[in-house]
Amino acid sequence: MQRLELGPGLIHIPGYFDPAEQTGLRVELDAVMREAPPFQPRMPRTGAPFSIRMTNCGELGWVSDERGYRYQPEHPETGRPWPEMPDLLRRAWRDLSGYRQPAEACLVNLYGEGARMGLHQDRDEADFDAPVVSLSLGDTAVFRVGGTRRGGPTRSLRLASGDAFVFGGEARLVFHGIDRVLTGSSTVLPGGGRINCTLRRVTAPASGAGWRHASAAFLAPP
């Protein structure tokens, strides 16, 4: 499997999921969304809606509304617990994170035509030792990544269906976002669009309980 190291802790794995696995993940995510219907997050204070819709699976889910950004164990509209994380997502975390503890949250972001995500950091977690593992399904996205300071230089690359992207270590808090989605570039999702699954560890484990041996895929040489 090809592994492109763009910088320390910043790794692109094209085609991590093969076509059959992409179809399998789509089916599993359909079941997640039946149990936890997608909702539209809103900006803190202003209540302005995001351009994406989203849901979550796992023990915790990320939500945003006028009260702020946070993780919580239940869907903000139904009040029900989030559904379990599909097996393919849990396998990806084991394969790619290099982290002993399991992921606790998977954000499932749905990008329709015209949706984007501005540059931001993932910093609502208590454990920055754990990386973020991002998985793409459906239409190709133009992904932009910078450094750990806002306003610094950035670069862009394309994330296609089945690709994985990992940022951890000194790159754990890089600014990143989605400039645009290339409509019609994939047929994996019947209605078009893109799904991004972002796997995260939220709570910090006991001291020394996080990292696996350095032979993990995330740390291994190409």
pLDDT at site 209: 58
Question: Mind giving me the DSSP string for 120-185?
Answer: E-----S-SSS-EEEEEEES-EEEEE--SSTTS--EEEEE-TT-EEEE-GGGTT--EEEEEE-TTS
Give the Cα separation of 183 and 111 in Å (integer): 10
pLDDT > 60? residue 216 = no
Average pLDDT, the chain: 92
Identity of the amino acid at 58 = G
Pair type for strands 176-181 and 53-58:
unpaired
Phi, psi of 3 (to 5 degrees): -140, 115
Output the six-digit token pair for 100: 């002993």
Tens of pLDDT, residues 88-97:
999 999 999 9
Give the Cα separation of 68 and 47 in Å (integer): 10
pLDDT at site 205: 78
Tens of pLDDT, residues 55-86:
999 999 999 999 999 999 999 999 999 999 99
> What global pTM score does this model have?
0.92
4-200, what's its fold?
Jelly Rolls (2.60.120)
- Helices 87-96 and 19-35 cross at an angle (nearest 10°) of 120
Give the Cα separation of 67 and 83 in Å (integer): 24
Q: What is the pLDDT averaged over residues 10-37?
A: 98
Give the Cα separation of 33 and 86 in Å (integer): 12
pLDDT at site 207: 63
Contact residues for 110 (Cβ-Cβ < 8 A; gap 6+): 38, 52, 53, 54, 55, 193, 194, 195
The share of the chain scoring above pLDDT 90, in percent, equals: 90
